[in-house]
Amino acid sequence: MGLLPNDTIEVIAQSIGINNLSPDVAQALAPDVEYRMREIMQEAVKCQRHSKRTILTTEDVDSALSLRNVEPIYGFASEDPLKFKKAVGHADLFYVEDKDLEFKDVIEAPLPKTPLETAVVVHWLAIEGVQPAIPENPTSGALVVPSENKKTEHDKDHGLPIDVKLPVKHVLSRELQLYFEKITELIVTQAGSTLFKEALVSLSTDSGLHPLVPYFTQFIADEVTRSLGDYALLFALMRVVRSLLHNSHIHIEPYLHQLMPSVITCLVAKRLGTRFTQNHWELRDFTADLVAFICRRFGHVYHNLQPRVTRTLLHAFLDPKKALTQHYGAIQGLAAMGPSVVRLLILPNLEPYLKLLETEMVLESQKNEIKRHEAWRVYGALLQAAGRCIFERVKLFPGLLSLPVRSTLESSLKVATTLDPDTAKGIVSPGNLSSTLRKRKVGEVFSSQQSSKILSESLADSIGAASEGQANVNLGESALVRATGQNSDENVTGSSRREKGLLNKSERVGSVLAQAWKEDADAGQLLASLVDLFGEGMLMFFASREMSLFL
Amino acid sequence: MEESEIENAVMAYLKRKGFRQTELALQEEQRKTSSSAAKTDPEIAKQIIAYAELDNGPVRYREEYSRLRTWTYNSLDVHKHELLRVLYPVFIHCFMDLVAKGHSQEARSFFQSFREDHEPSHLRDLQKLEGVLSPHHLEEMEFAHCLRQNKVTMKLCKYSYELLLQHLHKTESMVMLGVINERINLQVPPGQPCSNSEEVEVVALTGSSQEAVEQINQKEIHWGVLEDSLEERLEKEILAAEAEKAEAEDKEGHGEESKKKAGEGGKSGGPNKKMKKDKLTGTTGKGVRTEANVVSSAPRVKAELTMPTISMEVERSALEDLRNRARLSSSALPSVSFYTFVNTHYSLNCASISHDGGLVVGGFSDSSLKVWNMSKMGEQHGEVADGQNEHSAGLDVGKRSYTLLQGHAGPVYAANFSPEGEYILSASADNTVRLWSSKLNANLVCYKGHNYAVWDVQFSPVGHYFVSASHDRTARVWSMDRIHPLRIMAGHLSDVDCVQWHANCNYIATGSSDKTVRLWDVQTGECVRMFVGHHGMVLSIAMSPDGRYMASGDENGTIRMWDLSSGRCITPLTGHTSCIWTLAFSCEGSLLASGSADCTVKLWDVNASSRTPRMEEKAASAQRLRLLKALPTKSTPVHALRFSRRNLLFAAGAFTKSP
């Protein structure tokens, strides 16, 4: 019943010339053979441990046999895996196929290559506890470290020093040097070329770039401070930053503190590029996404990263002395961090800020075309940020928009689309279409200032009514029906009626609010105040949601 | 109760035991009193019948054990773990009983059906026992023999004990009762059931009984550091210099004057002023101060061995190193220099590094020792670059970059540098220890004495004396000038796998395959501490420089930190996933470095882990506190670690291509 069946004993006996082994003997021998085998293996494991190995070799078994004063007969290590063959006539008996070799063949075979001489090489595994990124150290270490850092930072109040101390001699291979030179040259000279795009791909995927990271960060920091006027270069640099951040083989955290100032600069600098025609807005949008990405990826490692960034941005946003471009960058940056940031930081300051902005936006008070354009840009950014935020809220509280409202929203969407062509005509500045559209639409609201005043008044009224809890659903519905009719008329008749429609819509929003009030006072209030501030433009965001719902 | 049944049972028993006379007498008596009424006490009758059945089957073992097991698993949660602990000794003794009675088939099937229960905590033991198939093996096998000889001591709270007895009586599990009575020494302390954290008792099954261990651990030991050590001298010197400086500052109001004086103080106190500065800043930062004083706060003890004299030159260099020692703490981690052996073809068995990192020795399975001189290696390159000394360099070096030391006749399992690096000791499977001179590159002495392969050898912290550990289950203390051992430490139940000196040279610690670590008094040769708790073969030991703590690592990747005076395990440090080949304390004892087969060097905070865990401190949170840093290597298992006197950490390992 043991590990060794009696058959095995018989076969072994036969192999050494005992042909008539009685079954009794075999039965008596089997357990003992098993015991001896285990004994030898136990000793072999000891030898293996003392040879500081984790795999058992034939040598260990030999040593174990000699420890037990048995002639080592176990055999030799072989390169090939052993081939087991089934013994004929026995069900569960296997043996190792051992081919006979001709002496001649063995002797005449060419000598194998002499194995390489054992040698010792020295390297720094760690310098003051930090592993330098050299080929001798495992590359995966860079990927493991973040989680570890996280752990230690959680656990210890005295945290590890995060700055990496580079080895005294930081040797770059010739290839890496060439690579670095080539890339920097590309960045400076031909940022638009396809070659540069290839370079970006390489930067985001190549695994051997870690030694270059300090050089790149230094280069980026230098270039950003040196050439704030060169829009193309700045954009190229930001793209490089993005590629580096996306490279999973690079352990970039130690260099973040060097990178962040440059990135933030590209977001909230007063002037980026020399000419007005250059689309620095796009650069700011791109950088805003980059900042948000950094916060998302490294926020858990450096707990104070996001707070610090948001603080910087909020300062830029709330400082009325700062240029509008800076405001724009700050708003975009904050918006990119997500709706909750917007809700907590932007929305509370929205009303006073818009008051300031209004004067900049209107033709009467601000004669400078460029300034006005900037103001509209900022307005657009704010609208988008607030809209996204409320969109998220609506997603959370679907009850906010009950079914009857949908139709109106649809219609308002229609309005938006019909508005599209005639607004698009008048676009002066380049830029992304949707934001311009939004801007224009809002402009529409504001162009008829009187009506917008009425609008806000009526809205305030309806909110007041809602807060008293006298929401009349029927009334709201009938209003809706009317409004839809009007809206469809409007499509035909044109802009003169639009104002009326808007007014009606604001009423409807009031009724919507009245419904929402019960479900989520907070969100409802938020929505109300937002609509109050932005007018119809806000509705876009529900519309888009409804769209997705219908799709 | 059928009277005849009882009679038959008694008869059968007598027949089997060969008590013919008694049998006849009984039959005689029966015939006489055949008419007499049944007056046998029913209780006794039950016992008799049970006893009769006892022998009629190995089946009973199985039945009763499985009944006991089911009952235990269904018992109350509070008592369950206590009862479960009882289950293991019952299980192995049932098995051994079956084997002893010759029912090897039944024993085997019994073993197989229940082994799963105990595998998690006793895998190695079970693997050993598995092979036991005949009464003869029981006798031969040390482990089994040991188990049969000694009663296991188990603590069981009163209620659990009663529950157990009640169950056994109710179900008439006489066999189980017998096993428990015979093999287990149940201690029933009053009070609540103890927590399952006291796993020590379970493991104590390995060797001598718990009592014996406790008795051994009662013995007095003096764990302090040697009096008049270099560190102490340095400390005094610094204190003197400091005092002098303070004095000077007190006296002289003028800045210039005091500066000048301080300069003088620096000159007289020691060449290094920076050290003093460190010291002064240390007084402001409390943490640094306390750490610096760890060593000095340890009690002083007299050396029991005659200490070798240290030459002035050596002493000077040692003092210089001490002055330049980097202060390490949980926030100031050491630099690690890694020596990678390449192209070893799995033949590197051991490695050792001299105190200054200048020499590295590797012991190979082809019986050779190879010594690399790292400082020369640098020179060589320089010379070749110069192009002038090319000839001499060529002559000196020949083909090899190392010095080959041949002499052993079996795999070299351990090599060790003397404290100053002028001698190398090597231990081999050929039962010998050899002493080599690293200056002459020649074998000086061959120490024969062990009967089996020598696994480990260690120079004492002061040199001259050394200790070896062998497969013959002994550790032996030697001095360099004698070819016979001075002391033989015998007592381990299995191979002595690793050995280490205590900081004050009065004790040595040995780790063994019997899963224990023992501390021996060098003077008397007797075992003064026994540390039970490892779940596998102990592979490495390190002693803290203040002599108070000891760390030991086993083949499962667990490191245990022990308090020498109490013999208790302070804490297990878990994190490694494979064999711990080497352990090293930093020079002032604030950090512990461990090197493992899982290709990492880990740094542990000793101050955190040696603090006795308080009740409110959760084990898990305390656990994480201790690991400071894991440094992965590039598929290189770490064979050796050593802190230099300046607290630079040297590590060595053989690069192994991942299959």
CA end-to-end span of chain B: 71
Probe site for chain B from A125, A151, A164 (most B CB atoms < 10 A): A125
Other CB atoms within 10 A of residue B621 CB: 9
Q: Give B270's contacts (C-beta < 8 A, 6+ positions apart).
A: B237, B238, B241, B276, B319, B323
- pLDDT tens across B174-225, in order? 788 888 888 887 777 766 665 444 444 444 444 455 666 777 777 777 777 7
Predicted pLDDT of residue B638? 93
ipTM topping 0.90: no
- B522/A316: higher pLDDT: B522
Cβ–Cβ below 8 Å for A126 and B105: no
Q: In terms of CA atoms, which chain A residue is nearest residue B334?
A: A128
A299 vs chain B: nearest CA distance in angstroms? 22
Q: Which of A34, A37, A57 is nearest to A47 (CA)?
A: A57
The DSSP annotation for A206-261 comes to -TT-GGGHHHHHHHHHHHHHH-TT-HHHHHHHHHHHHHHHH-TT---HHHHHHHHH
- A375/B637: higher pLDDT: B637
Q: Which of A16, A7, A75, A9 is nearest to A36 (CA)?
A: A9
Cβ–Cβ below 8 Å for A38 and B597: no
**Nearest CB to B339: which of A37, A122, A152?**
A122
B236, two tokens: 């005094």
Predicted pLDDT of residue B553? 94
Residue B467 near residue B457, CB atoms below 8 Å: yes
Q: In terms of CA atoms, which chain A residue is nearest residue B540?
A: A50
The 3-state DSSP class for residue B521 equals strand
Q: What distance in Å separates the CA atoms of residue A230 and residue A269, rounded to the nearest whole number?
A: 13
Q: How many CB contacts within 8 angstroms connect chain A with chain B?
A: 181
**Nearest CB to A126: which of B134, B631, B634?**
B631
Runs of H (alpha helix) within A81-139: 103-108
Block residue for tokens 């018989």: A10
- Burial-class residue A115 by CB neighbours within 10 Å (0-12, 13-18, 19+): exposed
Write out chain A residues lying below 8 Å of B635, CB-based.
138
Q: What distance in Å separates the CA atoms of residue B569 and residue A63, rounded to the nearest whole number?
A: 34
Predicted pLDDT of residue B146? 79
Q: Give B31's contacts (C-beta < 8 A, 6+ positions apart).
A: none
Sheet holding B638-643, edge to edge: A119-126, B336-342, B649-654, B638-643
Per-residue pLDDT at B467 exceeds 60:
yes
Q: In terms of CA atoms, which chain A residue is nearest residue B400?
A: A117
Burial annotation B252-287 (CB, 10 A radius, 16+ → b, else e)? eeeeeebeebbeebbeebbebbebbebbeebeeeee
Residue B448 near residue B456, CB atoms below 8 Å: no
* Over residues B450-457, mean pLDDT: 94
* Over residues B480-491, mean pLDDT: 92
Cβ–Cβ below 8 Å for A126 and B333: yes
Cβ–Cβ below 8 Å for B131 and A39: yes
Q: Which helix (H) or strand (E) holds B113?
A: helix B104-130
- Burial-class residue A194 by CB neighbours within 10 Å (0-12, 13-18, 19+): exposed
B84 vs chain A: nearest CA distance in angstroms? 28
Other CB atoms within 10 A of residue B505 CB: 22
Per-residue pLDDT at B348 exceeds 80:
yes
How confident is chain A (551 residues) per 10-residue block, as mean pLDDT?
75 85 84 84 91 87 86 66 76 76 84 83 87 76 40 38 48 81 84 81 82 85 82 84 84 81 82 68 84 83 80 83 82 82 79 78 72 80 79 64 44 42 39 43 42 44 42 41 43 42 50 48 58 59 47 41
Angle A305-318/A324-336 helices, nearest 10 degrees? 150
Parallel, antiparallel or unpaired: strands B507-512 and B516-521: antiparallel
Backbone phi, then psi, for A389, in 5-degree steps?
Answer: -60, -45
Cβ–Cβ below 8 Å for A54 and B637: yes
Parallel, antiparallel or unpaired: strands B184-187 and B152-155: parallel
Predicted pLDDT of residue B489? 93
Predicted pLDDT of residue A551? 41
Predicted pLDDT of residue B336? 92
**Nearest CB to A137: which of B332, B345, B634?**
B634
- pLDDT tens across A9-34, in order? 888 888 888 888 888 888 888 888 88
Cβ–Cβ below 8 Å for B105 and A120: no
Residue B594 near residue B559, CB atoms below 8 Å: yes
Q: What distance in Å separates the CA atoms of residue B193 and residue A78, rounded to the nearest whole number?
A: 56
Write out chain B residues lying below 8 Å of A49, CB-based.
497, 537, 539, 555, 579
Per-residue pLDDT at B525 exceeds 80:
yes
Other CB atoms within 10 A of residue A48 CB: 21
Backbone phi, then psi, for A234, in 5-degree steps?
Answer: -60, -45
Least confident of A524-528, B71-75, B87-91: A524-528
Predicted pLDDT of residue B361? 94
Q: What distance in Å separates the CA atoms of residue B476 and residue B177, rounded to the nearest whole number?
A: 44
Q: What distance in Å separates the CA atoms of residue B582 and residue B635, rounded to the nearest whole number?
A: 17
Predicted pLDDT of residue B260? 45
Probe site for chain B from A3, A51, A54, A66 (most B CB atoms < 10 A): A51
Probe site for chain A from B103, B128, B141, B331 (most A CB atoms < 10 A): B331
Q: What distance in Å separates the CA atoms of residue A145 and residue A210, rounded to the nearest whole number?
A: 14
* Over residues B151-163, mean pLDDT: 78
Backbone phi, then psi, for B404, in 5-degree steps?
Answer: -95, 125
Q: What distance in Å separates the CA atoms of residue A394 and residue B8, rounded to the nearest whole number?
A: 90
Q: What distance in Å separates the CA atoms of residue B462 and residue B468, rounded to the nearest whole number?
A: 16
HSE at residue B421, side-chain half, CA atoms within 13 A, is: 19
- A511/B335: higher pLDDT: B335
* Over residues B469-483, mean pLDDT: 93
Predicted pLDDT of residue A439? 44
Contacts with A, B 186-245, CB within 8 Å: none
B130, two tokens: 């598995």
B138 vs chain A: nearest CA distance in angstroms? 11
Cβ–Cβ below 8 Å for A118 and B362: yes
pTM of this structure: 0.56
The 3-state DSSP class for residue B542 equals strand
- B348/B613: higher pLDDT: B348
B603 vs chain A: nearest CA distance in angstroms? 9
Probe site for chain B from A120, A124, A156 (most B CB atoms < 10 A): A120
HSE at residue B558, side-chain half, CA atoms within 13 A, is: 14
Cβ–Cβ below 8 Å for A131 and B108: no
Write out chain B residues lying below 8 Å of A57, CB-based.
346
- A348/B460: higher pLDDT: B460
HSE at residue A73, side-chain half, CA atoms within 13 A, is: 3
Amino acid occupying residue B214 = E
* Over residues B418-435, mean pLDDT: 93
Cβ–Cβ below 8 Å for A32 and B133: yes
Strand partners, B519: B509, B529
Predicted pLDDT of residue B89? 85
Q: What distance in Å separates the CA atoms of residue B276 and residue B265, rounded to the nearest whole number?
A: 10
Cβ–Cβ below 8 Å for B471 and A46: yes
- pLDDT tens across B368-386, in order? 999 998 877 655 443 333 3
Q: What distance in Å separates the CA atoms of residue B499 and residue B519, rounded to the nearest whole number?
A: 10
- pLDDT tens across B226-244, in order? 776 667 777 777 777 777 7
B633 vs chain A: nearest CA distance in angstroms? 6
Percent of chain B with pLDDT over 90: 26
Predicted pLDDT of residue A512? 52
HSE at residue B16, side-chain half, CA atoms within 13 A, is: 9
pLDDT category at B485 given cuts 50, 70, 90 is very high
Mean model confidence pLDDT for chain B: 77
Cβ–Cβ below 8 Å for B628 and A152: yes
Write out chain A residues lying below 8 Å of B633, CB-based.
125, 137-138
Residue B368 near residue A118, CB atoms below 8 Å: no
Give me the numbers of helices (H) and strands (E) for chain A, helices first please. 23, 3
